[in-house]
């Protein structure tokens, strides 16, 4: 039994050696193509990751919740119908915000405004800076969430749309998210 490596082989005869020398470039070419395909796959995966993080500023999620403990840690309320006088909790996620490089870290500055529209689309309540969050962090953040608590005592029964407008104050980009609800 003779052992051979992928790239080299010690032939027994001159004819075998010549045959193997003709096969070696084919093997090397196949190996090179495999490496090229692997590199394209890896770079393609890297590009998609860059594109995902470079996507525009937007809301990823908006939910009525019973509690929110952190990013992705919430319990959905399961309904958008609430009794007059109750307090509701809303969980919102945003993505694509800018991390501004500072001396030894990054700043994130995001604000949230709220509009309450009636069933005809008229804005009845508008509140600026319901949440205003300016943070200094050591590493860039990718995950950001808001929790908003609203007391429904002042709103009469009916159908409403909550319109949240988030502003990335570093880039001055805005994103909006609407949620329908009913008070009975």
pLDDT band at 17 (very low <50, low <70, confident <90, very high): low
Residues 47 and 69 in one domain: no
Does 96 lie in the same domain as 22? no
The mean of the pLDDT values for the chain is 80
pLDDT digits (tens, 9 = 90+) for 137-165: 999 998 899 999 999 998 999 999 999 99
Residue 149 CB contacts under 8 Å (≥ 6 apart), including other chains: 87, 88, 89, 90
Please check whether residues 34 and 72 belong to one and the same domain.
no
Q: Which residues pair with 59 in a beta bridge?
A: 94
**What is the predicted pLDDT for the residue at 14?**
57
- 62 with 12, same domain: the answer is no
Domain with 24 in it? 1-54
Torsion of CA 85, 115, 76, 151, to 10 degrees: -20
Residue 45 pLDDT greater than 90, yes or no? no
Same domain, 63 and 89: yes
- The predicted-structure confidence for 94-152, as pLDDT tens digits, reads as follows 999 999 999 899 999 999 999 999 999 999 999 999 999 999 999 999 889 999 999 99
Examine the domain organization and report whether 76 and 45 are in the same domain: no
Is 39 a residue whose pLDDT tops 60?
no
Regarding whether 64 and 31 lie in a shared domain, the answer is no
* Percent of the chain predicted with pLDDT > 70: 70
| Separation of alpha carbons 48 and 55, rounded Å | 10
Number of folded domains in the chain? 2
pLDDT for 31 beyond 90: no
**Residue 176, domain CATH:** 2.60.40.3880
Question: Do 38 and 120 reside in the same domain of the chain?
Answer: no
Residues 73 and 140 in one domain: yes
Give 45's contacts (C-beta < 8 A, 6+ positions apart). none
State whether 162 and 177 are in the same domain: yes
Burial 47-73 (b: 16+ CB within 10 A, else e): eeeeeeeeeebbbeebbbbeebeeeee
Q: Identify the H or E element spanning 148.
A: strand 144-151
Give the containing element (helix H, strand E) for 30: helix 14-53
Shared domain for 103 and 177, answered yes or no, is yes
């Amino acid at each position: 039994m003779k052992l051979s490596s992928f790239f080299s082989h010690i032939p027994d005869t001159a004819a075998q050696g010549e045959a193997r020398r003709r096969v070696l470039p084919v093997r090397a070419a196949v190996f090179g193509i495999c490496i090229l395909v692997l590199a394209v796959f890896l770079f393609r995966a890297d590009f998609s990751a860059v594109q995902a993080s470079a996507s525009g500023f937007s809301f990823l999620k908006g939910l009525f919740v019973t509690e929110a403990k952190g990013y992705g840690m919430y319990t959905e309320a399961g309904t958008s119908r609430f009794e007059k006088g109750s307090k509701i909790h809303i969980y919102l996620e945003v993505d694509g915000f800018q991390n501004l490089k500072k001396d030894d870290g990054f700043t994130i500055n995001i604000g949230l405004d709220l509009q309450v529209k009636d069933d005809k689309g008229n804005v009845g309540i508008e509140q600026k800076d319901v949440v205003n969050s300016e943070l200094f962090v050591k590493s860039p953040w990718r995950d950001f969430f808001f929790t908003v608590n609203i007391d429904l005592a002042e709103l009469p029964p009916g159908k409403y749309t909550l319109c949240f407008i988030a502003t990335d104050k570093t880039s001055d980009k805005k994103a909006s998210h609407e949620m329908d609800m009913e008070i009975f």
